[in-house]
């Protein structure tokens, strides 16, 4: 197989022996890949500070010549954007770690996911620049991640009876985690026990942020209630759907409580 170069965002790195690192990247062209960076702890010239978590890099990789089943070798990595401002803020770091953990656990190896690459880059860049409220960036990342991955919940009408949110007089509805749907008051007996109450306004804003262009996200004016409800909903539904608890999410929640 031919060697290759691509844009990549670092999702995870693990020490391997005394000198090497095994690194998981989300690449623009090849999806999630695992590579070995030989002598990464000692080689400054080849990697030049580019191997920090969620840094964006231009990488060059080679395939092993002797062991065809061995890991791809990271030959060189040049830093494009280290998103340095994120690392100075523990809350921002928590959000970024949560996003990359979602992708690390969800994505299959070697399956191109350019939309998710672009979404993660946009979200990290917005978090780094602070021109969009941090919690709103996280809501955007999570709702868009679900849409791209094929399990976005319906937020615009009751799935049981088809009643549109605008025709429902009650201000709050039930969101069913198990079914990934909104349940109106009349259909509440059909809901599972896994879910939460959420206001119509929050559901509408989440639906809007999912449908609009990402570069217009700075125009979204979420109320404090919508941010709180939206975070609880999405940070509960994604782990429930994937069937995994996220260590980074536990850390993020502790940091938010302390702040």
What does the pLDDT look like over 75-88, one tens digit per residue?
Answer: 999 999 999 999 99
Q: What is the pTM of this model?
A: 0.92
Alpha carbon 243 to its chain's center:
16
Q: Tell which wins on pLDDT, 232 or 213.
A: 232
Tabulate helix, strand, coil % of the chain (nearest 5): 45, 25, 30
Contact 141, 54 (CB under 8 A): no
Q: Is the pLDDT reported for residue 219 higher than 80?
A: no
Give me the chain's average pLDDT, please: 90
Q: How confident is the model at residue 170 (pLDDT cuts 50, 70, 90)?
A: confident
* DSSP type of residue 83: -
**Least confident stretch, 11-20, 54-63, 144-153, 217-226:** 217-226
Domains and CATH numbers, the chain: 4-82 (2.40.50.140), 87-258 (1.20.1440.120)
Average pLDDT over residues 24-39: 95
Q: How far apart are CA 229 and CA 222, in angstroms?
A: 11
């Amino acid at each position: 197989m031919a060697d290759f170069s691509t844009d990549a965002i670092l999702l995870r790195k693990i020490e391997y022996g005394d000198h090497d690192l095994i690194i998981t990247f989300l690449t623009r062209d090849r999806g999630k890949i695992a590579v070995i960076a030989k002598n990464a702890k000692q080689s400054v010239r080849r990697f030049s500070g580019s191997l920090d978590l969620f840094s964006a890099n231009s990488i060059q990789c080679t395939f092993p010549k002797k062991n065809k089943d061995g890991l791809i070798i990271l030959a060189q990595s040049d830093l494009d954007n280290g998103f340095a401002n994120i690392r100075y803020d523990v809350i921002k770091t928590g959000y970024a770690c949560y996003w990359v953990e979602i992708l690390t656990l969800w994505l299959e190896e070697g399956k191109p996911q350019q939309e998710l690459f672009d979404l993660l880059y946009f979200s990290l860049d917005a978090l780094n620049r602070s021109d969009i409220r941090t919690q709103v960036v996280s809501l955007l990342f999570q709702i868009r991640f679900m849409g791209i991955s094929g399990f976005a919940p319906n937020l615009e009408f009751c799935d049981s009876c088809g009643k549109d949110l605008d025709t429902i007089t009650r201000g709050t509805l039930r969101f069913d985690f198990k079914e990934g749907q909104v349940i109106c008051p009349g259909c509440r007996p059909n809901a599972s026990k896994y879910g939460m109450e959420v206001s119509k306004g929050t559901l509408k804003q989440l639906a809007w942020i999912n449908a609009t262009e990402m570069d217009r996200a700075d125009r979204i004016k979420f109320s404090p209630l919508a941010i709180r409800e939206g975070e609880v909903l999405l940070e509960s539904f994604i782990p429930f759907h994937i069937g995994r608890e996220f260590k980074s999410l536990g850390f993020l929640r502790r940091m938010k409580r302390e702040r």
